[in-house]
C-alpha cells in the first residue's frame, strides 16, 4: 500500500470515528420535537464535573503547550509542570464526580 493510500485510509478511519461522535451529539441534542429556551435552560442545568469552565480552558491550553511546544526556559517549564500537577488533581476529581453521577443514573 502506498503512503498516499495509507494516509487516505487513516483519514477515512478518523472521519468514521468523528461521524459516530457527531451522530451522538445529534441524538442527544436534536432528536426531539421542540428546540426552545426551556429545553436549553434544562440542558444547561448539568451537574458540576469540573469546578469552573475557565479552569478547563486553562487545562486545555496548558496541555497543548506542553505537548506541542518545546520550552527552553527551565523555570517556565517547572511552572508549567507545577500547574499540570494541580490540574491533574482537578481532572481526577472531575472523573470521580462524573463516575458518581453516572453510577446514580
pLDDT at 68: 82
67: left (phi over 0), alpha (psi -120 to 50) or beta: alpha
65 and 78 within one domain: yes
Q: Which domain holds residue 83?
A: 48-105
First to last CA, the chain: 47
Can you tell me the distance from the alpha carbon of 24 to that of 18, in angstroms, rounded to the nearest whole number? 10
How far apart are the C-alpha atoms of 76 and 66, rounded to whole Å?
Answer: 11
Render pLDDT for 34-92 as a digit per residue (tens, 0 to 9): 777 776 666 656 566 666 667 778 888 888 888 888 878 889 888 888 888 888 888 88
- pLDDT of residue 29 exceeding 60, the answer is yes
| pLDDT, tens digit, 9 for 90 and up, residues 51-67 | 666 777 888 888 888 88
Q: Are residues 38 and 64 in the same domain?
A: no
pTM value is 0.45
Specify the number of domains making up the chain.
Answer: 2
Same domain, 56 and 105: yes
Output the pLDDT for position 46: 59
Amino acid at each position: 500500500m502506498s503512503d498516499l493510500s495509507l494516509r487516505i485510509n487513516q483519514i477515512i478511519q478518523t472521519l468514521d470515528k468523528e461521524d459516530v461522535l457527531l451522530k451522538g451529539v445529534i441524538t442527544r441534542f436534536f432528536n426531539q420535537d421542540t428546540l426552545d429556551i426551556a429545553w436549553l435552560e434544562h440542558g444547561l442545568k448539568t451537574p458540576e464535573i469540573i469546578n469552573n469552565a475557565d479552569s478547563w480552558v486553562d487545562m486545555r491550553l496548558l496541555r497543548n503547550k506542553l505537548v506541542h511546544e518545546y520550552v527552553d526556559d527551565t523555570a517556565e517549564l517547572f511552572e508549567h509542570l507545577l500547574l499540570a500537577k494541580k490540574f491533574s488533581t482537578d481532572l481526577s476529581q472531575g472523573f470521580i464526580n462524573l463516575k458518581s453521577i453516572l453510577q446514580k443514573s
